[in-house]
Amino acid sequence: MIIKTNKDEILDFSHDASNFSGNPEAVFFPETILELQELVKTLYQENTCFTISGNRTGLTGGAAAEKGIIISTSKLNKIIEINRNDKYIITEAGVTLEEIQRTAAENGLLYPPDPTETNCFIGGTIATNASGEKSFKYGATRNFVEELEILLPQGELIQIKRNHFFANNLKIKILNYDLTLPKFDMPEVKNTAGYYCAPDMDIIDLFIGAEGTLGIITKAKLRLVDKPGKLISCFVFFNNEEDALQFITDVKRKSLLSIHTNDFTRLNALAIEFMDKNSISLLKDNPLIPHNRAAAVWFEQETTTEYEDLILNRLWELLSKYNVDDNSILYAVDDNEIKSLKELRHSFPSKVNEYISAHNLKKLGTDTAVPSGSFRAYYKFCKDCVEINNLQYVIYGHFGNSHIHLNILPKDEKEYNLGKEIYNQICLKAVELGGTISAEHGIGKFKRDLLIKMYGEEIVNQMKNIKQVLDPKMLLNSGNIFLP
Ligand SMILES: Cc1cc2nc3c(=O)[nH]c(=O)nc-3n(C[C@H](O)[C@H](O)[C@H](O)COP(=O)(O)OP(=O)(O)OC[C@H]3O[C@@H](n4cnc5c(N)ncnc54)[C@H](O)[C@@H]3O)c2cc1C
């Protein structure tokens, strides 16, 4: 096993894409699951904290160890099986999402979870229950996890199949561990804050989105779906923001009518994404972006060659209500053009993350979602909060899921501190409206206080008890979700 201890060599492992910096002593690269298991057993005996690193694209400092060592899953990078007939893929944790998506596509299949950042490892996406652009239609990673192999904190390797093991009235037994789930209502929005808990839940769901605090995901069997015959991708730039928001409401309403079908003759969006004026300004040097637009929407839909024109006509018809001219639309139906529009969408968060790194700041980006009926009022609340305080900001997000990334871009430490207060207000407002402080990025080391505000101290302590039963010394992913 490769072990790196040289500070320069391990520098990249001390932070993730949020720019949160930890202080790891070493990085271990196990090459087999057996090697990983032996390592974990030894670390547990020696009382050494260990943090799991995927490809560090996370946005909450989860993979950045504050102390102890890091275990990288990068050498556990084999795809074990792809089954075209039964539509599944079995993979080790360190395979990139890009490789999973490509392998599925080469076999005429699709792995829908798509957090726009495709350099992440599949283990990281399961640990954070990642979602992203296609979650409007397909939901989050959880919906596609059929089976997991998990290395528990003290070194036992377990297999959990979906639909095989269930909680019994909030009680779960795994090997000799007796776990008690807290009783609370999870918000009815896209959510990945804290543990997934329900009285008779499938046990596999406890580990998905647990941010690596309950065990190390070593292998996964993932469900695939048929690759659509055709994809339509479209960026629309609006002259005023109200038109963009109203277009989203319209297209969402129409899509929800056929979301559970593969009706390719109707508007049936895969992704409905929003970018505000400030986001567009960040990319003003990009030749694809028209000047002086107030907002943009990225829309994707699956269809077939036969119905491609019909869908485009339906889309143009809807857009004609919103003062959109030909120069304001970029649309793509062939693979290369679709890829370039997807890259355009990805460049919005990338640009923000670059700004944060360049200014040596920690990310102040919301990941809140609220029930759709409250979304427009919530959006206004968020904007007012930053504008009244004269803070520079950009807003983009998965508006199809009423999910908003408002990134505050402070100029200095004083603005950062003010921004942090505003950020907290925006998160708490989401909770007040029945939403969540984290729809897809997780709690990591940034939102531990907010998690307590969201669920209350008692529920969070009961979640922590689950961890303490499996990991009494609190060595695995210490500091994630809960204070150590
Ligand atoms: C530009 C950009 C855009 C993004 N857009 C989205 C988006 O739209 N939607 C979205 O959901 N996310 C998005 N993300 C966040 C990110 O891509 C995801 O959080 C990703 O799922 C993390 O994968 P990773 O391999 O990089 O994990 P890491 O960042 O390395 O780790 C994330 C967490 O998972 C744990 N972990 C990693 N591997 C394992 C394992 N095998 N077993 C147990 N725990 C593990 C880590 O300890 C850590 O707590 C974006 C990120 C960037 C940089």
477 in contact with ligand 1, CB cutoff 6 A = yes
Place 295 in a pLDDT band, splitting at 50, 70 and 90: very high
Q: How confident is the model over 162-179, as a mean pLDDT?
A: 96
208 in contact with ligand 1, CB cutoff 6 A = no
CA of 324 to the centre of ligand 1 (A): 36
- Give pLDDT, residue 215: 98
Pocket test for ligand 1, best of 57, 76, 347, 348 (most atoms within 8 A of CB): 57
63 in contact with ligand 1, CB cutoff 6 A = yes
- Answer yes or no: do 49 and 110 share one domain: no
Mean of the per-residue pLDDT values for the chain? 94
Residue 441 lies in a domain: yes
- Answer yes or no: do 92 and 220 share one domain: yes
Q: Which residue has the tokens 């670390």?
A: 43
Tell me the HSE value of 325 on the side-chain side, using a 13 A CA sphere.
Answer: 4
Q: How confident is the model over 68-78, as a mean pLDDT?
A: 98
pLDDT per residue as tens digits for the range 258-278: 888 878 889 999 999 999 999
In contact, 204 and 172? CB cutoff 8 Å: no
Residue 359 lies in a domain: no
CATH number of the domain encompassing residue 34 = 3.30.43.10
- Give pLDDT, residue 409: 92
- Give the structural domain span for 194: 79-225
pLDDT per residue as tens digits for the range 343-387: 999 899 998 888 888 888 777 999 999 999 999 999 999 999 999
- Give pLDDT, residue 164: 96
DSSP 307-368: GHHHHHHHHHHHHGGGT--GGGEEEE-SHHHHHHHHHHHHHHHHHHHHHHHHTT----B-BE
54 in contact with ligand 1, CB cutoff 6 A = yes
Residue in 355, 360, 337, 338 with CA at minimum distance from that of residue 283:
355
Question: Is the predicted pLDDT of residue 327 greater than 90, yes or no?
Answer: no
Q: How confident is the model over 386-408, as a mean pLDDT?
A: 96
Could you give the number of structural domains in the chain? 4
In contact, 188 and 435? CB cutoff 8 Å: no
- Give pLDDT, residue 384: 97
CATH number of the domain encompassing residue 154 = 3.30.465.10
Q: For residue 172, how far is the Cα from the chain centroid?
A: 27
Burial category of 191 from C-beta neighbours within 10 Å (exposed 0-12, middle 13-18, buried 19 and up): buried
d(CA 299, CA 283): 19
- Give pLDDT, residue 373: 95
Question: Is the predicted pLDDT of residue 470 greater than 80, yes or no?
Answer: yes
Which ligand 1 atom is at minimum distance from the Cα of 215? 43
- Give pLDDT, residue 333: 84
- Answer yes or no: do 391 and 332 share one domain: no
d(CA 481, CA 484): 9
- Answer yes or no: do 219 and 92 share one domain: yes
Residue 88 lies in a domain: yes
CA of 329 to the centre of ligand 1 (A): 32
Residue 356 lies in a domain: no
- Answer yes or no: do 136 and 220 share one domain: yes
Percent of the chain with pLDDT over 70: 100
- Answer yes or no: do 142 and 13 share one domain: no
- Answer yes or no: do 221 and 107 share one domain: yes
pLDDT per residue as tens digits for the range 238-248: 999 999 999 99
Please tell me the residue having the least CA distance from ligand 1 atom 7: 115
In contact, 201 and 160? CB cutoff 8 Å: no
- Answer yes or no: do 381 and 406 share one domain: yes
Pairing label, strands 145-151, 157-161: antiparallel
- Answer yes or no: do 273 and 376 share one domain: no
d(CA 386, CA 376): 16
- Give pLDDT, residue 412: 86
- Strands (E) across 96-184 are located at 109-110, 145-151, 157-161, 171-174, 177-180
d(CA 2, CA 28): 6
Residue 167 lies in a domain: yes
Q: Which helix (H) or strand (E) holds 236?
A: strand 230-238
- Answer yes or no: do 64 and 96 share one domain: no
- Give pLDDT, residue 464: 98
Place 74 in a pLDDT band, splitting at 50, 70 and 90: very high
CA of 57 to the centre of ligand 1 (A): 5
pLDDT per residue as tens digits for the range 411-450: 888 999 999 999 999 999 999 999 999 999 999 999 999 9
CATH number of the domain encompassing residue 379 = 3.30.70.2740
Long-range contacts of 406-412, Cβ-Cβ distance < 8 Å, separation of 24 or more: 406/365, 406/366, 406/382, 407/352, 407/363, 407/364, 407/365, 407/366, 408/364, 408/365, 409/352, 409/355, 409/356, 409/359, 410/359, 410/361, 410/364
Question: Is the predicted pLDDT of residue 286 greater than 80, yes or no?
Answer: yes
- Give pLDDT, residue 186: 95
- Answer yes or no: do 460 and 435 share one domain: yes
- Answer yes or no: do 287 and 344 share one domain: yes
349 in contact with ligand 1, CB cutoff 6 A = yes
> CA dist 148 to 52, 145, 206, 213, 457, Å?
16, 7, 11, 15, 30
57 in contact with ligand 1, CB cutoff 6 A = yes
- Give pLDDT, residue 277: 96
The top-scoring range by mean pLDDT among 47-61, 282-296, 356-370 is 47-61
